[in-house]
């Protein structure tokens, strides 16, 4: 979880990723951010996040992202 938050801060700093639950709906993460995020997650965890995984629910919070990453590992 910590490493995910670290990556999130690198993509888009200055947000409380521990508690934010609506990263996509509230527009905190833009489409560019998401793409950057995914590329970093792919590299860090050696996974392959594809378009099928690109549903808002998977990226609304750090927790959700972790769930996705774990699923794909």
Cα–Cα distance between 65 and 68 in angstroms, integer? 5
Q: Binding another protein by CB under 8 A: which of 3, 25, 39, 63? A: 39
Binding to another protein (CB under 8 A) within 41-70 occurs at 42-43, 48-52, 54-55
One residue of 35, 44, 56, 70 binding another protein per CB under 8 A: 35
Which residue, among 16, 49, 51, 52, has the nearest Cα to 66 in the 3D structure?
49
Binding site for another protein (CB under 8 A): 31-32, 35-36, 38-39, 42-43, 48-52, 54-55
């Amino acid at each position: 979880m910590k490493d995910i938050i670290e990556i999130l801060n690198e993509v888009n700093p200055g947000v409380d990723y521990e508690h934010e639950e609506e990263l996509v709906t509230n527009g905190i993460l833009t489409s560019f951010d998401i793409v950057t995020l995914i590329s970093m997650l792919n590299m860090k965890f050696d996974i392959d996040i594809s378009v099928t995984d690109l549903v808002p629910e998977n990226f609304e919070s750090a927790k959700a992202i972790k769930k996705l990453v774990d699923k794909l590992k």
